[in-house]
Structures are given as structure tokens and as C-alpha cells.
Amino acid sequence: MGVPYDIAEAIVAAGRRMDALGFVPATAGNFSVRLADGCIAITASGRHKGFLTPDDVIAVDTEGAPLQQGHKASAETLLHCGIYRRFPDAGAVLHGHSIANTVLSRRAGNTPLRLAAFELLKAFPGLPTHEAEILLPVVPNDQDIARMQRGLDALWDAMGSVPPGYLIAGHGSYVWAPDMPTALVRMEALDFMLRCELEERRTPA
């Protein structure tokens, strides 16, 4: 099964945008879109996201297995699958590695990061004004991706209300949304708030 051209192009365009913002250095990051049949279009392993072509976008099943021989999906595909399985309204997922999300997640350990009174909180659902806050989950990095996903599921169960994003300690951020344009807005908004948070911690009051 191939990926519809318009979806592949949307993922390629997201790669150019994320690269221009400095969110996906080297071969870091991965992006995906849920397909109409429930399968997933996702960036192939090892590609620089600023130079993607439609051929660098592959289709995988709901367990992350490539649907065509010779294709290799990132190990982190399982985290995309976990989001789509958990959140029925998720239609696109972005994973990036900016300086702000990496540094702050390293410092946070396993403690959720509180973001409050930022105008750009309005990019997240249910937050119509800046007079709000979210607790952004931070989970330990783990080379066993299936185990990391089990930890995320347990954390989401405990949280009840879950913002459409989380950080992996020392690694990067994930956000999701009903579609790719909204996912890009949320990623940009989140990283702006994280950069502000990092700057505030550097600057004496």
C-alpha cells in the first residue's frame, strides 16, 4: 500500500517547516498522519526532515509494521501508534528535538512541566484565554519503546485530562492534533512557551 500523494506532500512540507525552525537537526524527529483506513503514513527511518521527498513517507499498520517490503520505520513509530490508539481525534503527530524542549526536559526529570499564563496556551484545546495552565508530562527516555509506551499509557490513565503533547527527558517533544496544520501550530506554540520558560530561568528576577 502506498501513501496518498497529498498526505505525503503534507508531511514533506511539515519537514521543511520544522527544519527551518531548528526543531529537527540532522536526522532527528518523525512525523505522521492517520490514513482513512486507520493505517499510518510516517517518515521513514534515518531521513533528514528538511530534505524529505514523498518517497521518504511510508505506510505502516496500527502496530507500526511497514506495509511494503524494503521499507524501514523508525523505532519511535510505536509512540505514534500509541497516540493514535489512545486519542481517536488525533489525525497527525509531530516529534521534534529543539534546544528548549531538550534542555527543559533534562532538568525536569520525571516531573510534569507547568506552563501558565502564556498567550499561546490558546493553541491547545479547551484553553480560550491566557488565564490557564497545563501540566506537560515528562517521561524518562528509554530504548525499549514498547515499555516507554506502557509507561505513557499508565501516566495518561492517572492524569485523566491529558494535554495533546508530552516531553521525553533529554530527548524531545511530541504533539498531536486532528490535522497537520493544527499539529504544526501546537508544536510552534509549545516550543515558543518552552523557550520563554528557559529564558526566564536564565534571567534573574
In whole angstroms, what is the distance from residue 123 CA to residue 27 CA? 27
179 three-class SS: coil
Residue 205: per-residue pLDDT: 64
Amino acid, res. 26: A
Q: What is the pLDDT of residue 1?
A: 61
CATH of the domain at 25: 3.40.225.10
State the total domains in the chain: 1
List Cα–Cα distances, 35 to 2, 42, 90, 136, in angstroms.
11, 10, 11, 27
Q: Which residues in the chain land under pLDDT 50?
A: none
List the domain range (segments joined by +) for residue 123. 5-202
Give the model confidence (pLDDT) of 49-88 as tens digits: 999 999 999 999 999 999 988 888 888 999 999 999 999 9
pTM of the predicted model as reported, rounded to 2 decimal places: 0.94
